[in-house]
Amino acid sequence: MSDTATAHQASGAAAPRRSPTALPRSFVWTRRIVLTLLAVFTATPLYVMVSSSLKPLEEVSGTFRWIPAELTLEPYRDIWRTVPLGRYFLNSLIVSASATACSVVVAVFAAYAVSRYRFRGRQVFTVTVLSTQMFPGILFLLPLFLLFVNVGNATGLALYGSRGALILTYMTFTLPLSIWMLAGYFASIPRDLDEAALVDGCGPLGALFRVLIPAAVPGIIAVTVYSFMTAWGEVLFASVMTNDATRTLSIGLQGYATRTEVYWNQVMAASLVVSVPVVAGFLLLQRYLVAGLTAGAVK
Partner 1 sequence: MTAHSAPRTPAPAAGDTARGPTRTAADRTPAPAPGRRSAAPGAPAPSGTRRPAAGSPLRDRVRSAGLPYLLLLPALALELLIHLVPMATGIVMAFKDLTQEYISDWSAAPWAGLDNFRVAVDVDAPVGEALLRSFAVTCGFTVLAVGLSWLLGVTAAILMQDAFRGRGLLRALFLTPYALPVYAAVITWSFLLQHDNGLLNHVLHDQLGLTDGKPFWLVGDNSFVALLLVAVWRTWPFAFLLLTAALQNVSADLYEASALDGAGMWRQIRHITLPALRPVNQVLVLVLFLWTFNDFNVPFVLFGKSAPQSADLVSLHIYQSSFVTWDFGAGSAMSVLLLLFLLLVTAGYLLLTSRGRGSADV
Out of 100, 162, 227, 250, name the contact with partner 1 by CB under 8 A.
250
Stretch of 71-79, 83-91, 172-180 lying at the interface with partner 1 (CB under 8 A): 172-180
Contact call for residue 122 and partner 1 (CB under 8 A): yes
Contact call for residue 149 and partner 1 (CB under 8 A): yes
Distances from the Cα of 53 to the Cαs of 208, 250, 263, 265, 284, in angstroms? 48, 18, 10, 5, 24
Q: Which residues does residue 242 pair with via DSSP β-bridges, in sequence order?
A: 161
Q: What angle do CA 185, 187, 190 make, to 5 degrees?
A: 110
Single-letter amino acid code for the residue at 82: T
Contact pattern from residue 192 through residue 231 relative to partner 1, giving x for each residue in contact according to CB under 8 A and a dash for the rest: ---x--xx-x--x-------------x----------x--
Taking a C-beta distance cutoff of 8 angstroms, is the pair 297, 177 a contact? no
* Of 255, 246, 249, residue with least CA distance to 235: 249
Out of 87, 163, 210, 299, name the contact with partner 1 by CB under 8 A.
299
Q: How far is the CB of 86 from partner 1 (least distance, A)?
A: 17
Contact call for residue 80 and partner 1 (CB under 8 A): no
Would you give the DSSP letter of residue 257? B
Give, to the nearest 10 degrees, the angle between helix 163-187 and helix 122-134: 120
Distance CA 60, CA 265 (A): 6
Contact call for residue 21 and partner 1 (CB under 8 A): no
In the window 92-111, what residues touch partner 1 (CB under 8 A)? 105-107, 109-110
In the window 27-46, what residues touch partner 1 (CB under 8 A)? 27, 30-31, 34-35, 38-39, 41-46
Contact call for residue 67 and partner 1 (CB under 8 A): no
Distance CA 100, CA 192 (A): 30
Contact call for residue 150 and partner 1 (CB under 8 A): yes
* Of 38, 175, 161, residue with least CA distance to 102: 175
Q: Please, which residue, 68 or 233, has the CB nearer to partner 1?
A: 233
Out of 74, 113, 210, 213, name the contact with partner 1 by CB under 8 A.
113
Contact call for residue 137 and partner 1 (CB under 8 A): yes
Question: Terminal CA-to-CA distance of the chain, rounded, Å?
Answer: 42
In the window 271-290, what residues touch partner 1 (CB under 8 A)? 271-272, 274-275, 278-279, 282-283, 286-290
Contact call for residue 267 and partner 1 (CB under 8 A): yes
CA 32 from centre of chain: 30
Contact call for residue 90 and partner 1 (CB under 8 A): no
Contact call for residue 144 and partner 1 (CB under 8 A): yes
* Binding residues for partner 1, total number by CB under 8 A: 125
Q: How far is the CB of 81 from partner 1 (least distance, A)?
A: 19
Taking a C-beta distance cutoff of 8 angstroms, is the pair 215, 228 a contact? no
Contact call for residue 82 and partner 1 (CB under 8 A): no
Contact call for residue 183 and partner 1 (CB under 8 A): no
Handedness of CA 195, 199, 205, 211 (dihedral sign): negative
Q: Please, which residue, 7 or 94, has the CB nearer to partner 1?
A: 7
Residue 83, classed as helix, strand or coil, is: coil
Taking a C-beta distance cutoff of 8 angstroms, is the pair 103, 172 a contact? no
